[in-house]
Amino acid sequence: MRKISVFNFISVDGYYAGPGGDISWAKARQDDEQDPEESDFGRKGVGAGNILLFGRITYEMMAGYWPSPMAMKNSPEMAEGMNKAEKIVFSRTLKKAAWNNSRIAGGEMVEAIRKLRQEPGKDMTVLGSGSIVTQLAQEGLIDEYQLMIHPVVLGKGSSIFGGVSRQLDLELTATRSFTSGVVLLCYRPVKN
């Protein structure tokens, strides 16, 4: 069975986006010049070859950046990996997915994910896409959470677990701290 992991940036107070969807607090740390250690970690993650899963909002944001000349200048290896990766975007409104190796999966997302998990092939990683994380977490479909905790408190915003209505028991499997002050926490769900 394929595994599903989540890779997400969050603030110390647990938000993946600030008011109005603001993620500028995390984007500033993506530039190789500002934090080469984190960028190296990101390149290795993209090089793992997982299928990338997105919601429409995150997909459109990433599709607007990674194929751009700016991305190739700032993070050439990361841009190459993101552009080569197979991508599935879950949306009921998006009509076209023009970014390299992308396809749209419409309809009921949770059932589509259940079917994808049963098929042979690459593991999958949800990048960003907080509403997808919430829905998959609620259904117990996530095998690993990789959370990059940024040293910032937003005060309010959107939480990847904001819509989860049941307790999720997690086991810490790895940690890593970066010179920027960002801390990676990896968890897997405890099966009860």
Of all residues in the chain, the percent with pLDDT exceeding 70 is 90
Q: Is the separation of the CB atoms in 128 and 30 below 8 Å?
A: no
Break the chain into its structural domains and give their ranges: 4-189
Q: Of 46, 149, 59, 57, whose CA–CA distance to 97 is shortest?
A: 59
> What is the pTM for the complete model shown?
0.88
Q: What is the predicted pLDDT for the residue at 77?
A: 86
- The per-residue pLDDT for range 83-119, each reduced to its tens digit, is 999 999 999 899 999 999 999 997 899 999 999 999 9
Q: pLDDT tens digit string along 73-91? A: 988 888 898 999 999 999 9
Whole-number pLDDT of residue 31: 45
Higher pLDDT, 30 or 80: 80
Mean of the pLDDT values across residues 40-49?
68
Class of domain 4-189: alpha beta
